[in-house]
Structures are given as C-alpha cells and as structure tokens.
A and B are shown apart, each in its own frame.
Chain A
Amino acid sequence: MVALIEEVFLNTFGRPAGAVCEDQARLQLAELSCMGDQLAFTTDSYVVDPLFFPGGNIGTLSVNGTVNDLAVGGARPFYLSCSVILEEGYPIEELRRVAQGMQQAADQAGVRIVTGDTKVVPRGAADKLFINTAGIGVIPKGVNLAASRAAPGDLIVTNGFIGDHGAAIVDGRGELALEHSVHSDTRPLNGLVEKMLSVCPDIRCMRDATRGGVAAVLNEFATAAGICIRIDERAIPVRAQVRGICELLGLDPLYLANEGKLLAVVPAKDAEALVAAMRTDPAGADAVIIGQVGAAPSGLVTLATALGAERVLDMLVGEQLPRIC
C-alpha cells in the first residue's frame, strides 16, 4: 500500500536526471549561492475541508502557500518538500489528482519538489489527507523586507480582490447551493514579487494575507513597526459574489483567507509606478492602493467606512461564525 502511494508521488513529481535515491535530497550549493546571500526556509501544514474546491485543491494550496511564504520575504523559491499523512482507505485516484495539482503548481512557480514522505494512519486518526510542505529559497543581496521598516507616510498596496479563497471554501462545502460559485485565488506570487522588487527595491515589507485575512496582516504590520495604519473600505476590491456570501452569512471579507493576495508597505513616491507595474502581471492585474501608514496611535489599524466614519479594524478572535439572523 505505502509503496503504491509513494509511486503516485514519484511518478507525478518525476525523478530528475542524476538524482540519488537516498534518504535525503542533495542540493548543489553553488547553484544557490550565486543567486544571493541568504537562504530562506519555511514550512507549513495544510488541512482543508473540502480537499477539492472551486479553483484548486489541497495539493495546489500546499505548493502555492509555501512558495508565497518564501516570495513575500523577497526570496526566489527553488525547492520544496512534501510530507503526506493519509487516512487509511483514502482513494488513490483522488491522491493522484492532488499530486498532479502539486506538480502543476510547482511548474507554474518554477520550483521542484525534491523530497517527501508518506504515512498512512488508521481510519479516524486523521481526516482524509494532511500535507506538509517546506521550502527553500534564496534572498538576493540587498533585499531586506521587514515589517519593522514600515514608516509614517508609506502606502499600503494589495494585488487584487480579497476574500476569494475563504468564500470558495464556504461555497465548496456545498451547504449553500449558490448559483454563482467563487473560485479560490490560490496561485504562486513569486513572479509578481520579483517584478515588484525590480520596480521598487525599497519596498518596506510584504506578507500574504492567508488565515485571518487582510485584517490580520495589517495588525501584524502595525504592531511590529509601532505605527498606525488607516485603510479605506471603499478602496478595497471585493468581488460581488464574495460580498454576496458575506452579506448572507454575516461574514467580513477583511477576515476571509486569501491564497494569492499579498499586502505590501511601500514608499509613497514609488506607489503609483509600482501599482502600474503590478497590473502588467496576471497575479497583480487588479492591484490598488488601499491605505496609508501614520504615526499614531501606535499599533492600531483603522478603517474609513463607506459612510466616511472611522472605526478600528481589530484582529479576529477565533474563527468567523455565521450569524443567526
């Protein structure tokens, strides 16, 4: 059984020419060290219900998520690992589709999955399928993205419509029977980030707005840099379908997860040119400026509402729950 499963991954990911079949992947240092002066290394575990949703599956998510965690640090991602925990009896055919999703995402991002592991646990000991990926990338010399660098006067930029992934997951559970489905925005952002850094090397910091949504990232920035962030609700792009789902269930798109959206803090003088450059990339086609950085009150994120009033945009406690009525 385990051999069969490993075969699925090996056949899908392929064996690179000259690869050694040992207990570890062996990576050429010289290939990496000529790209920059810092290694970036990250890991994330992926658990999602449902495993397949409009616009992607746990496989595409597990590659894009880790690629993006590297990319928003300014790193060029190169290698990924893939560790899988399967519940006994999980259909091989579905697993093959997940592996194919991973390979497609890896091809799109230009990374290679070079090592992995598979464990099968008894029925009930895991929920169908969990994936962990880790990734290695190289940060080019001179690139220094850090939340602490955000400063008063800077502007906040995002690369497009927010909340798509979170809404797609709600929709994908099939409990709402919606007419117009929403597709997850899961995609690699490393190409876009490279373009952004080439246009504006002085970008202060970037994060991808996954769990906790845009609100969580902005609060992290504000806390890390001891600054205040003011965003304008009317400037934030939200698709009509996503708004519809949110209105129906009493959810706030600012707290919905994204899997292909980043937030960047950028010097005001470069912001317009940066947004224009981002819009030439498919991953940044709907890029906009959504707010600005102020000095005080430190650590606070505020939102100008549709009526022009200002309110606090806090971190979410626990998960967003649908409201009664």
Chain B
Amino acid sequence: MKYLDEFRDSDKAQALLREIARLVPGIETCRQRPLQIMEVCGGHTHSIFRYGIDRLLPKNVELVHGPGCPVCVLPMGRVDDCVALAERPEVIFTTFGDAIRVPGSSKNLLQAKAEGADVRIVYSPLDALAIARRNPDREVVFFAIGFETTMPSTALTVLEAEQTGVRNFSLFCNHITIVPTIKAILDSPEVRIDGFIGPGHVSAIIGNAPYELVSKRYGRPLVVSGFEPLDILQSLWMLLLQMTEGRCAVENQYGRVVREGGNKPALDAIGRVFELRDFFEWRGLGSIDHSGIRIADAYASYDAERRFAVPDVKIADPKSCQCGEVLKGAIKPWECKVFGTACTPETPLGALMVSSEGSCAACFNYAGIRPGAPPRQVQSPLSNR
C-alpha cells in the first residue's frame, strides 16, 4: 500500500538499526546509564509496540512512553462530568471511540450508555454536527478531546455550526496543548530524559518553532517524527547523531507532512474559537499551567460547560496508581504497584491501561508483560550486540 509499505521495509529498518547501534558507543551518556528517549505521542507508542521496535534497539537505548495519549491523561473527574452530561435526558452525547471506555469514578461512558444514556460514537465532530441537524429537538454535545491534532476540526465544526445556524450543538472541551506539558515533564526533578521524539500530527498544525525551548532552554534535542516504523527509527538515528556530534536542535524527520510554520488556516481557526485556560488538571501529572483549552467568549453558546450545569467533579487519582511516574519515565509500566493485578485492560484503574496507545496497555497486550515477570527476552538480530 502506497506511503505505508515503503515505511515498513524490513531491510531499511535493519540498516537503520545497524546505524543506531554504531552510534551508541560514541555517546557519553550511554557509557554510564541507558539513554532515555521519550516519544511524546501515543501514536508513536502504538507503532513502537505493534512493530516491536523497542525489542530491536540496543539495550542501552530505552524508550519512555510520554503523555501524548489524550484519553490517557484525562482526569477521572472530567469523565464523571461527561457521564453527567450524557445522562441528561435531552442530550445526545457524541464521542470518539477510544474515549468511551475511560474509567470515571463510578462508571464510564459505555456503562452510562448501557444504563440508557444516548451515547454515540462518531469519527469526526462534523458527524456530531450532522446528528444535531437531524435531531433539532435534542441537545447534541461533542466530547472534544485531543492535542492540536484534533483542535482544528473541532474549531471548524463550531464555525460551521455558527454559519449554518445550528443552535442545539455544543462542545465539552477537553483539548490540551503539548508544549506546556513537555515543559512540565522537564521541570520534574525525577526526570532524566535525554531527547524527544516529537509528535508528528501536532506539529503538522503548530510547526516546529514551539519546540525551540526544549533544545534551547532545556538542552534536549527533539526530532519531529512520522508514525511508521522507519519514521521512528530514522528519528531515533537523527537524535543519536545530534548527540554524537554534540548538537542539540529541533529537527523535522516528517517533512512529507510537517511544514516549518505549521498549517496557518488551522491555526487561524483554533485562534478564533479557542483560548488558553489558566490551568488544567492532568491524570498522573496534576495541574499544569496554560495546558488546557476552552472556548472563547465569542462562541460561549457552543460551550457545554457554560450551557449546562456541568458538575465540575474533582477526583484525586487513585493512590495505588503510579500513572504519573510512568508518564514521566521515572518507572517502567510493569514496575507500577498495580500493573496487571488491580489494573488490567479489562478493569483499568489508571488510564494508561485503557487505550491501546497507553503504555501500560501496550506492555500488557503487545509485550505480554505480567506482574512479577520481567519482559521476555526475544531473539532479535541486533539487540545483543
């Protein structure tokens, strides 16, 4: 399949792996401890596990699975708010599929649906708007979630609703923004990430410039990466090359999609419809300043939080969960106290176990890791070199 198979070529992957293995001995850090590279985006985490990339890397290159899975970092209280909205008799609650199983304090959206709430899975916010047009006597709420990747489509849907006079449509806005989050991770004392694989789709919208503080202020290299296995391997190689050459810069591996300045019409739409919240609560990471997005006053009538009495539930993360430490790379998923015991994909406590992009679910499902059992050593042509 065009644009996919070329980026999954086994021979090219082996060549990149050899180059990566060749660079490792020349990196000072690798002589003292394993190098930690964080892939920020859940899409990368998914690809890494699906193709077994982590198992092909040299032993002293570790991948840390970052906070870029929007459903993983959604706090439980926000899910309770979703359920409260969905249970209003006049509301049709529309959501992307993978948000439907995220646990709230007493139930998730799937359970609310089973109890009679009108919850519908959509593929795009425009589908939700179409449902609003077909049901003029109901209130259609769209569960807006995601980083800058999904913000433009939500913003454009609000603009379209306004232009076409659809009044029974609103957003429960949970959009979040990536750069303050990377900053918060780098400010944590326990973090020792050496470099970042930057989010490709977010960057297609915002461009490369916003990451400059990662390289300039924090002195960590960042390579914006595509999502296919060769993209990820090439980005890793680019990071290691920077380290070998003593450079620290923001580079773009995903040139076929990401433009230096991002996507201006998308940024314009975001700028019109949204504004920054002073702070936003993240699961596992706590409150992060200027990391959440809400609807600007000019579009207040499309804001479900202003339109309905949303309970605004605040619930602390379960004490036993160590999602935050996993998200920051301080511990491995299987080192969490409840991994695979109290917290499994079937009965997730922490959100990292819910989505297939969550690092705990990925370790559980794709790597077959179980509590008390370290990851199995599998044969790979390069990992033992």
Q: Which positions in A face B, CB cutoff 8 Å?
A: 175-176, 240, 243-244, 247, 249-250, 297, 300, 302, 305-312, 314, 317-318, 321-325
Contacts and interface: CB of A to CB of B under 8 A. Distances in A.
B127 A309 contact: no
Given A249-B123, A250-B356, A308-B381, 10 more contacts: A307-B8, A307-B53, A309-B56, A314-B365, A321-B97, A323-B43, A323-B97, A324-B96, A324-B145, A325-B147
B98 interface: yes
Contacts of B51: 305-307, 309, 311
B130 to A, nearest CB: 10
Contacts of A321: 97-98, 100-101, 121
Contacts of A318: 101, 346
Q: Which of A175, A297, A309, A322 has the most CB of B within 10 A?
A: A309
18 contacts: A176-B123, A247-B4, A302-B368, A306-B51, A307-B52, A307-B53, A309-B56, A310-B52, A311-B52, A311-B366, A311-B368, A312-B368, A314-B366, A323-B43, A323-B46, A323-B97, A325-B70, A325-B146
Contact of A324 (B53, B71, B346, B364): B71
A233 B46 CA distance: 16
Interface in B1-54: 1, 4, 8, 10, 13-14, 43, 46, 49-53
A310 B378 contact: yes
A312 B98 contact: no
Q: Which 10 A-B pairs give the minimum distances between C-beta atoms?
A: A309-B52, A312-B368, A321-B97, A322-B97, A317-B345, A311-B52, A325-B149, A310-B378, A306-B8, A305-B51
A314 B71 CA distance: 22
Interface of B: 1, 4, 8, 10, 13-14, 43, 46, 49-53, 55-56, 70-71, 96-101, 121-123, 127, 145-147, 149-150, 201, 229, 345-346, 355-357, 364-368, 376, 378-381
A307 B56 contact: yes
A241 to B, nearest CB: 10
A324 B99 contact: yes
Contacts of A317: 345-346, 365
B50 A311 contact: yes
A216 to B, nearest CB: 13
Contact of B380 (A176, A250, A309): A309
Contact of B368 (A247, A249, A300): A300
B123 A322 contact: yes
Given A244-B1, A307-B13, A324 B70 contact: yes
B172 to A, nearest CB: 15
B375 to A, nearest CB: 10
Contact of B229 (A244, A307, A314, A322): A307
Nearest to B353: A317
A325 B122 CA distance: 13
A308 B10 CA distance: 7
Contacts of B71: 324
A249 B127 CA distance: 15
B373 to A, nearest CB: 10
B348 to A, nearest CB: 9
A130 B344 CA distance: 33
Nearest to A317: B345
Secondary structure dominating the interface of A:
loop
Contacts of A249: 123
Contacts of A243: 1, 4
A243 B70 CA distance: 25
A323 B101 CA distance: 12
Given A243-B1, A317-B346, A324-B99, A312 B380 contact: no
Contacts of A325: 43, 70, 146-147, 149-150, 201
Q: Which of B50, B53, B345, B355 has the most CB of A within 10 A?
A: B50
Contacts of A247: 1, 4
A244 B71 CA distance: 24
Contact of A323 (B356, B368, B376): B356
B10 A312 contact: no
Contacts of A175: 122-123, 127
A224 B356 CA distance: 27
Nearest to B4: A247
A300 B346 CA distance: 18
Contacts of B52: 305, 307, 309-311
B380 A308 contact: yes
A324 B146 contact: yes
Contacts of B1: 240, 243-244, 247
Q: Which of B8, B127, B145, B381 has the most CB of A within 10 A?
A: B8
A67 B367 CA distance: 37
Contacts of B121: 321-322
Contacts of B355: 323
Contacts of A297: 376
Nearest to B149: A325
A247 B13 CA distance: 20
B101 A311 contact: no
B155 to A, nearest CB: 15
Contact of A306 (B10, B147, B368): B10
Nearest to A304: B52
Nearest to A318: B101
Nearest to A324: B96
Given A243-B1, A324-B146, A325-B149, A309 B96 contact: no
A192 B5 CA distance: 33
B150 A309 contact: no
A139 to B, nearest CB: 36
B123 A312 contact: no
Contact of B55 (A306, A310, A314): A310
Contacts of A307: 8, 10, 13, 51-53, 56, 229
Contacts of B55: 309-311
B367 to A, nearest CB: 6
A269 to B, nearest CB: 26
A322 B46 CA distance: 13
A309 B346 CA distance: 26
Given A176-B123, A244-B1, A321-B101, A305 B50 contact: yes
Given A307-B229, A309-B55, A310-B379, A322 B98 contact: yes
B109 to A, nearest CB: 11
